[in-house]
Structure 1
Amino acid sequence: MTHVALPELPASRTWIDGSPEPSAVAEAGALHDPNTGRRLAAARASSLEQVERAVGAAHAAHEAGIWRELGAEGRAPVLERFADELDALAEDIARLDAVNSGVPISVTRLFGGSNGDTVRDVVARSRALGDSRRLEADHGDVRLHREPWGATALIMPWNAPSAMAVKKVAYALAAGATTVLKPSPASPWSTELVVEAAHRAGVPAGAVNLVYGGGDVGAVLVADPHIRAISMTGSTPTGRAIAAAAAPNLTRLRLELGSNNPAIVRADADVEATAAALVSGAMKLSGQWCEAPRRVIVHDALIDDLVDALVRELGRLRIGSSLDEETTLGPVAFEARQAELESQLAALEAAGAHAIRVGDERPEGWFFTPTVAVAEHVDLDVEIFGPLLTVQPADDDAEALRLANAGHVGLAGYVFGRDEDAARVLGRDIRAGEIKVNGTSVLDMAPGSAQSFFGASGIGGHGDADVLDFFSGVRVVGVDRPGLPL
């Protein structure tokens, strides 16, 4: 394996009311290089007292109204400076994310390089929407006002650390909300840079706070009654725990969770093109993409040819260090992720699956050999999250649809077939928020795209308008209509 120099690792500092301070818990586990398994640093965590102070600072800043009362136009220049700061950090962020997640640097550079534009897009959308609008009313002035709910918890995943931190905080700040960010304990470093950039850009003290830690920190954060909205991306079990903790406070929730996304391959599919698209989708982010195809459901007549084509496509991947420019598939992010994938594969094999591993076993690091598991039946309650793709047969479209809608689904789905109209009609009945025909790209299919999280895949949805709407409510203020009978 090619060994590439590691980036400089920033301190994981807790930020409260505009100022950084050491995170109080000095030994909260360890952070490793997923390419080698070597220990890099102790994981620091915020104390529960620091979490309470961070929430208090966000709540006080909301009550003071300094950020909220600037309005969309007043907030825009600060956010534009934030975007410029992120542009300057693009390479540093890319290298840190590659180490924290195992995602190849060729991909983390795309994320790091687009963070500034993400903020600019949010600013443009916020300006166009405005803070209020006059409603049509003949009798007098009636207006609809947008108001942030209050202090907001932003909880990030480990697979795309900076991209999720930037998107969540940009939308929250554009809506006028104050925030407390909590990155995954597995991927803390780039969030430190994002928060520091926000403060250099002039975001007021208290508007962006940052805490570190695992489930104990998260539990205190989401249960605090001063937190009025929670945006979280992560696993379904964690999402359920957050919903339960937030329920007594009736906290507003947006939870993007997991899904074993189905991909139906119809009898008329182009086998080679389908295999290329499936491998591209399943292996993105080292297989750690929440909308990746996980379960391939293929017409009986094509299964042997498709499996052969999938193996050929997997064989074209260049497996290596996430910091190597030539790598197309890196390691998974941490040891427990690797262990869970091995356990899931063992369970599939015990149930009769035939596993085809493509590539050499690696003696160091958190690598999982890309694998196709072929079985008559696939029954996994927990999301597959890594370079493991299952394939199962179906007699016809009706059986394929039944299988696609079974189990832990709801986020995304895919249909492959030469007859695109027929594929689209079939996709209309997959119970998921986004169904793509003959492709597995990460980006939206159209500028106005939006998707809800169906079933156990979450609460809320995607779409720029949806995300901006989440962070604020609406209030109508005006002169009452005279002479109403009731």
Structure 2
Amino acid sequence: MNLPELTTWIDGAAEPSELADDTWLHDPNTGAQLAPSRSSSTAQVDRAIAAAHAAHVDGEWLRLGVAGRAPFLLALADRLDELAAEIAELDALNSGVPISVTRLFAGSNGDTIRSAVARAVALGDHTVLAAEQGGVQLHRVPWGATALIMPWNAPSAMAVKKLAYALVSGAPAVMKPSPASPWSALLIAAATAELGFPAGVVNLVLGGAAVGNQLVSDPRIRAISMTGSTPTGRAIAAAAGPNLTRLRLELGSNNAAIVLQDADLSAAAASIVSGAMKLSGQWCEAPRRVIAPRELVDPLVEALVTAMSALRIGSSLDEQTELGPVAFEGRKLELEHQREALRAAGGVVIEVGAAPADGWFFAPTLVVGDTIDLDLEIFGPMLTVQPADSVTHAIDLANAGHVGLAGYVFGQDESTARAVGIQLDAGEIKINGTSVLDLCADSAQSFFGSSGIGGHGDADVLDFFSGKRIIGTDKPGLPL
């Protein structure tokens, strides 16, 4: 496999990046070193921000209008279709997510861009508003240079969606992929340069927290779209706060799955395990905590173990793998720490199946206990199971702690399940299912609680990157 050179991209040109403190990118399947990590220098980050800011001030990209920007983006969509196989391999290697899944993500990147373009074209650059005097227009204007900070669990999918909606809105961008998963973002940046995007419109910097802090605290960055952990989100909000920078932060959540008394336990367990183990358990909206009537806990645990036992565990590059390793050693160590903390608090730990000894594998795990109390999101193939003494108790448990993104309810009486689901503090509630995909084309959800700021759904994402500016002749003869 050809591993892209870890370069910084400024004004459409690649530059060498510095070595990053003797750290390495590893193969999560074996633990083998693949390439030394690299970071953009302080000067490079400053120049990348300056390039994006200058592109905004110059206004060439904005003046093209949606119709003029669309051909660039559609050409990028076509190019990403051509790169899909390479991107899928790199993402599987960077994230530990099975290649059967990264291939689906990589294969849809082009359509993500096409969808963003279609939505923006339909909306247009401005709207004429009803007014007695006529001629009143509402324009959508990008805030300015925008920072796009990507997670490591779905590297190309997140990079493409953020970049597509920023660019179609007219906002020049500085991308920062996770230091654990930089490769597919580099291919995307290179593709924009090959296709002749104007200078400064797409820039990319590499690095960890220090680079991220420099990026988000710079007053020339006027909007930040970030997907990642809640601690990182809080740090970004603190750094960007003095500049009143616009924020869209999709963070973590220990999403609850409530199993009701009338649920089909076998079907519920199969769906919960499927959702919890997707992306090697590294999916922000995955079910993390299962809450069930006390008398159903034992048979439900048995059904969950059965479903987990059927998973094919193996290399993320193996076509047959259903559960790969987690992305990096620190992720595995954090899961082990959480498991032992739950055990120490009285939880019964059930490890299902044997994970390979090499690499960053974590065996599918259940933790059963009356008290489940974790400060941070469980982000890997581990589920907790907790008894409830009533439906009200189950809802209270589901809404406690680090929540806000998603929730799940299982029961054969759908009206009852919906009545329970609408009481969950989360932006998306699914009944009797745990798919990654949105419920419908016009789906939208806000990030509740500590799960973030803003929301998602394509209309929300497009709206984030622009402010609204109204212009028109004032109405004559008004009393005030």
TM-score normalised by structure 1 residue count? 0.98
How far apart are 1:26 and its partner, in Å? 5.6
Aligned counterparts, 1:102-141, within 5 A: 102-141=96-135
Q: Distance in 2 between matches of 1:69 and 1:155?
A: 26
**8 and 27 in structure 1: CA distance in 2 versus 1, 3 angstrom threshold:** farther
Q: Distance in 2 between matches of 1:28 and 1:361?
A: 29
Corresponding letter in the other structure for 1:209: N
- Does 1:393 find its partner at 2:355? no
SS in 1 for 2:39: coil
Aligned counterparts, 1:77-476, within 5 A: 77-476=71-470
Q: Distance in 2 between matches of 1:58 and 1:268?
A: 56
**28 and 49 in structure 1: CA distance in 2 versus 1, 3 angstrom threshold:** farther
For 1:44, which of 18, 30, 38 is the aligned residue?
Answer: 38
How far apart are 1:236 and its partner, in Å? 0.3
**26 and 340 in structure 1: CA distance in 2 versus 1, 3 angstrom threshold:** closer
Contact residue 107 and residue 285 of structure 1 kept, 8 A: yes
Partner deviation per Cα, 1:38-90 (whole Å, 9 max, x = no partner)? 01110011001100000000000000011111001011111000000000000
Question: What's the RMSD between the two structures over aligned residues?
Answer: 0.8
Q: Distance in 1 between matches of 2:452 and 2:17?
A: 31
Contact residue 216 and residue 239 of structure 2 kept, 8 A: yes
User: Which contiguous aligned blocks of 4+ residues in structure 1 show a shift greater than 6 angstroms?
Assistant: none
How far apart are 1:301 and its partner, in Å? 2.3
TM-score normalised by structure 2 residue count? 0.99
Q: Distance in 1 between matches of 2:429 and 2:137?
A: 38
Partner deviation per Cα, 1:232-285 (whole Å, 9 max, x = no partner)? 000000000000000110000000000000010000000010001000000000
Contact residue 410 and residue 453 of structure 1 kept, 8 A: yes
Q: Distance in 1 between matches of 2:244 and 2:82?
A: 40
How far apart are 1:27 and its partner, in Å? 4.6
Contact residue 79 and residue 201 of structure 1 kept, 8 A: no
How far apart are 1:376 and its partner, in Å? 1.0
Corresponding letter in the other structure for 1:109: R
How far apart are 1:399 and its partner, in Å? 0.3
Q: Distance in 2 between matches of 1:274 and 1:45?
A: 45
SS in 2 for 1:25: strand
More displaced, 16-25 or 389-398? 16-25
How far apart are 1:28 and its partner, in Å? 5.2
Q: Percent identity?
A: 68
Q: Distance in 2 between matches of 1:369 and 1:399?
A: 30
How far apart are 1:446 and its partner, in Å? 1.1
How far apart are 1:362 and its partner, in Å? 2.5
SS in 2 for 1:81: helix
Aligned residues: 480
Q: Distance in 2 between matches of 1:255 and 1:28?
A: 30
Q: Distance in 2 between matches of 1:199 and 1:484?
A: 52
Q: Distance in 1 between matches of 2:293 and 2:261?
A: 5
SS in 1 for 2:383: strand
SS in 1 for 2:224: strand
More displaced, 297-306 or 419-428? 297-306
**Which residue pairs with 1:3 in the alignment?**
none
SS in 2 for 1:29: strand
SS in 2 for 1:392: strand
More displaced, 299-308 or 316-325? 299-308
SS in 2 for 1:169: helix
Partner deviation per Cα, 1:339-388 (whole Å, 9 max, x = no partner)? 00001000111111111111114321000000011101101111000000
Contact residue 20 and residue 207 of structure 2 kept, 8 A: no
How far apart are 1:447 and its partner, in Å? 1.2
More displaced, 200-209 or 76-85? 200-209
SS in 2 for 1:50: helix
Q: Distance in 1 between matches of 2:364 and 2:27?
A: 20
SS in 1 for 2:79: helix
Corresponding letter in the other structure for 1:255: L
For 1:53, which of 42, 47, 52 is the aligned residue?
Answer: 47
Corresponding letter in the other structure for 1:354: V
Contact residue 254 and residue 460 of structure 1 kept, 8 A: yes
For 1:12, which of 1, 6, 20 is the aligned residue?
Answer: 6
**351 and 481 in structure 1: CA distance in 2 versus 1, 3 angstrom threshold:** same
SS in 2 for 1:213: coil
Contact residue 12 and residue 192 of structure 2 kept, 8 A: no
